[in-house]
Chain A
């Protein structure tokens, strides 16, 4: 029943207020908004077609005509960078969403049912955690073949474990609370109790973890693309731009430096936002920092 959960669902509101008191959060939010706008309006912002090759303008250094220079196929680096924003955000967002949904469901089910199911799911988590993240992503991407979809699947798999853990712990505490007990005695199905009563009370913790892990997802995407397991060419992605630019590192620094800075800014923005969100939901660190 909504009346049972209503007072607790108000939590994101207080979270929002705590967040806005934090100066670091404002910086993170501002940077992220800017990056999202760049991704949305890429066709309007990009001065050239990111895929248009022009051998006459190979490896041009930054100039008034090409602000960030051109690559070894004569493609405009700035335009590729702007379109690359779309790929990075898309991969990061979708991968984290998949990990978040699967991880939270597994975590809630494990915490709520306990017993054998709990041991089985947590055993799976232990296995996922025993692979070094990058190597697991690398292995899955290599086995499935290089494509954007497979890259997203590979990154999602590496990030399921933390969401299972963060969803499981509060579920164990919440399932003994009176409002869940009340629902149970009214004969609600376990699915309704887990989805309608337990989930809304921990959704903020899951979302905070989502922001933090999106930064990691974007880093993993860039790393896998750099190794050569990313979206296949000629799709512009930051990681693959660095990979291509690395071959010309001795005479064309802009090819590696520009996408590097783009990755840094995005990851930093998400980390700032994620840190601020974590402080906002955890009163202990909040009082410690402010």
Chain B
């Protein structure tokens, strides 16, 4: 198992290097002089030269590339032009908010999505199945910011059940939870739609297997049949798909944070965009892509743990 995990990590190294190269090229695509873009039209020639030197833009491209790779691989993701803090400090400041939101969403997604998916699969082609399918298709059609705005309009502005701003900086845990509820449900319901869909198709596949028929013939009680023999085996693809969903979840949480005016990575990216803070954007891009690569590795390892047949080629 250790060997499997190690191999999987080694296989990710070329992807990591290629990802860093892609970010490097992307940032150099900015039309015009990055220094001029950062400082604006009124910058003096001295200031421009200074910032070029500070960013290493006065050096040949291959040296810039080597410096960039060296910095990134040693964990130095750069410094925000606007605040002067390092990218890691910026991320650390807002990360708890985003983690809170995404974990709540994953919990909601699993709590509703798994039972509904199983229910739909067991009652195939009857009304629970159709209901679940229509709900999941609708849930997956919503861009995250659209559902967030509609929820904000109905529950915060019309009904006044929840605060308009989806975060409480101070206050006890109850106030915090109250403020978190709406953004978490917005992300969580999209997650529910996704989990439900995958669970349904995975359960449909598993419940048709021979060993389920054998267990049924042996007289295994229905609940045990569904949970232990069925769901446990159906979980394998569900784990993978939920892992693959991670990238989308990050994108959706960015949009949700913007709508609910919640601090977090989304607001950080928006601020970096608005202040043209390209060094912060570049660092954030590397951090996010690194997270996705890491989650993909972990998903593969979990997959290997649940299903012993999986081996790295």
- Residues on A close to B: CB < 8 A? 123-124, 126-127, 129-135, 138-140, 142-145, 215, 219, 222-223, 226-229, 242, 246, 249-250, 253, 256-257, 260, 263-264, 267-268, 271-272, 275, 285, 288-289
Distance from A232 Cβ to chain B, minimum over Cβ atoms (Å): 15
> Across the interface, do A222 and B288 meet the contact criterion of CB distance under 8 Å?
no
Cβ A272 vs Cβ B273 within 8 A: no
Given A140-B26, A256-B149, A257-B153, do A264 and B142 touch, yes or no (CB 8 Å)?
yes
**B163 in contact (CB, < 8 A):** no
> Known: A135-B250, A140-B26, A142-B273. Is A126-B153 also a contact (CB below 8 A)?
no
> Complex Cα distance A138/B273, Å?
9
B259-295 vs A, Cβ < 8 Å mask (1 yes, 0 no): 1000000000110011000100100110011001100
Q: Are B247 and A133 in contact (CB under 8 A)?
A: yes
- Complex contacts, A267 vs chain B, CB 8 Å: 141-143
Task: Determine the distance from Cα of A263 to Cα of B252 in the docked complex, in whole angstroms.
Answer: 16
The answer on a CB contact under 8 Å between A242 and B273 is: no
CB closest chain-A residue, reference B291: A132
Which among B14, B157, B254 is the interface contact of A135 at CB below 8 angstroms?
B254
Q: Return chain B residues, CB-CB under 8 Å to A250.
A: 157
Shortest Cβ distance from A167 into chain B, in angstroms?
20
> What would be 5 A-B contacts, judged by CB atoms less than 8 Å apart?
A223-B145, A246-B149, A246-B259, A260-B150, A271-B137
Please name 12 further chain A to chain B contacts, defined as beta carbons within 8 Å, in addition to the given A144-B31, A267-B142, A268-B137, sorted by A numbering.
A130-B296, A131-B19, A131-B292, A132-B247, A134-B255, A143-B27, A246-B259, A257-B153, A264-B141, A264-B142, A271-B141, A275-B137
| Contact residue among B137, B254, B273, B278 (Cβ-Cβ distance under 8 Å from A228) | B273
CB distance from B50 to the nearest CB of A (A): 23
Nearest CB on A from B242, distance (A) = 15
Q: Which residue of A lies closest to B249 (CB)?
A: A132
Judging by beta carbons under 8 Å apart, are A123 and B26 in contact?
A: no
In the bound complex, how far is the Cα of B250 from the Cα of A132, in angstroms?
7
Interface, chain B (partner A; CB < 8 A):
14-15, 18-19, 22, 26-27, 29-31, 124-125, 137-138, 140-146, 149-150, 152-153, 157, 201, 204, 246-248, 250-252, 254-255, 258-259, 269-270, 273-274, 278, 281, 284-285, 288-289, 292-293, 296
Q: Which of B247, B251, B254, B281 has the most CB of A within 10 A?
A: B251
User: Which residue of chain A is the closest to B274 with respect to CB atoms?
Assistant: A228
A131 touches B285 (CB 8 A): yes
Interface of A is mostly: helix
Set of chain A residues within 8 Å of B141, measured between Cβ atoms: 215, 264, 267-268, 271
Q: A219-B143, A264-B141 are in contact. Are A130 and B255 (CB under 8 A)?
A: no
Query: Given A145-B31, A272-B137, are A131 and B289 neighbors across the interface (CB < 8 Å)?
Result: yes
Which residues of chain A are within 8 angstroms of B29 by Cβ–Cβ distance?
Answer: 143-144
Task: Find chain B residues with CB under 8 A from A143 CB.
Answer: 26-27, 29-30, 278
Q: A131-B285, A132-B248 are in contact. Are A124 and B18 (CB under 8 A)?
A: yes
Q: Chain A residues near B157 (CB, 8 Å)?
A: 249-250, 253
Determine the distance from Cα of A285 to Cα of B251 in the docked complex, in whole angstroms.
30
Expressed in whole angstroms, the Cα–Cα distance for A228 and B11 within the complex equals 37
Residue with the greatest number of chain B CB neighbours at <10 A, chosen from A127, A227, A268: A127
Measured between beta carbons, the chain A residues less than 8 angstroms from B270 are 227
